[in-house]
Amino acid sequence: MNNKFFRILIGASIILYLLSACSPVSTPTDVIPTAEPASLKVGIFNYSSFAPLFIAYEEGFFLEQNLNVELIDFGSQSTEFVPALLSKQLDIGAYSFTSSINNAILQGVNVKYVADKGFLNPDGCVTDAFVASTPNLANGSLTDNSNLTGKKIVLVPGGSFEYALDVMLEQAGVTQEVVELSKIADSATRIQSLAAGTIDIAPLSEPWITRAQAQNAGTIWMSFAELLPNMSVGALIYGPSIMEKDHEIGDRFMVAYLKGIQQFNQGKTDRNVEIIAKYTQLSPEEIKLICWTNFQPDARINQDALMNFVKWTNDKGYVDGPLTIDQLLDNSFVDNANRSLNP
């Protein structure tokens, strides 16, 4: 069922990609003040994990690189993002690792993961976790993962949430067949289900973890960082309009992105809070309260963790064939940008 869904999605996206009549992005031959800026459309979501992009835009880091960036806000809806990237309606985006992107790469669409968009830091606070309902924790039925049979668990198929679920179940010595799975896409609805006791365990990311605990609906039961330590939870992705042209535009964009990460990693400063609040619609008070995404200073993706995820997608039948790291990942942009910033 899921495999069919992903194949239909990618098939439609590839048709759009092949038929796309979008004008190519102009690339200046020299980065000089009088050169015409390169125009880029960048897909974002209103999550705090996109903060380096928000910061780079608001602080003028893209303009410093002679880039005229338009941020295309997808809100919290992800279904339109992948087709837009594959069909060149977007030049760049940031997204979680997902079977749909991997299938597109396998079928020859020229997109690449190019930089980390946050990683699961086992030494940091919890940004992503399985949250257990308060009643289950109170009655002791979820003291550990040894008694999961029959538990009602939210399933988000095909991506890192299901991957974490399978790792958690494997550690418990069981499979998805012994638990009761429910597909609940909306995080707010997951919290309501936890509070009502209709769901026992749900995967949540910040700020929803903090909200669930504030509403006494549930609390952290097992962090993703415990299950998948140091895995990148998402990536900056360059689409065909970047990959099929001079990579110099991609290098300049990466310099601005790294500067955004550097400022974000300064922590919960007033300026960072102000920028994140503008894009996420969260209050400054909530932004200061939640756990912030961890970013690698050099923005390099954990390759071993990525390939473990790719193997999982193959084993699940979500991807139609094997992929190599070179097919998925292009480190040249990160390498060039780091050399530029740290000569």
Is residue 96 scored above 60 in pLDDT? yes
Q: Domain residue spans in the chain?
A: 2-119+231-341, 128-227
For 115-147, b where at least 16 C-beta lie within 10 A, e where not — what string? bbbbbbbeeeebbbbbbbbbbbbeeeebeebee
Q: Which residue has the higher pLDDT, 4 or 59?
A: 59
Give pLDDT tens digits for 277-327. Answer: 999 989 999 999 999 999 999 999 999 999 999 999 999 999 988 999 999
CB 8 within 8 A of CB 79: no
Q: What is the pLDDT of residue 47?
A: 86
Mean pLDDT of 167-183: 93
CATH superfamily of 128-227: Periplasmic binding protein-like II (3.40.190.10)
pLDDT tens column, 129-144: 999 998 888 887 787 6
Query: Which structure tokens are listed for 137?
Result: 């924790």
- Tell me what pLDDT residue 77 has: 60
Give the residue among 72, 323, 111 at the shortest CA–CA distance from 238: 111
Domains 2-119+231-341 and 128-227 share a fold: yes
- Which tens digit of pLDDT belongs to each residue from 220-240? 999 999 999 999 989 999 999
Sign of CA dihedral 150, 153, 157, 161: negative
Question: What confidence score (pLDDT) does residue 6 get?
Answer: 43
| CATH fold of the domain at 2-119+231-341 | D-Maltodextrin-Binding Protein; domain 2 (3.40.190)
Q: Are 32 and 245 in contact (CB under 8 A)?
A: no
pTM for the whole thing?
0.85
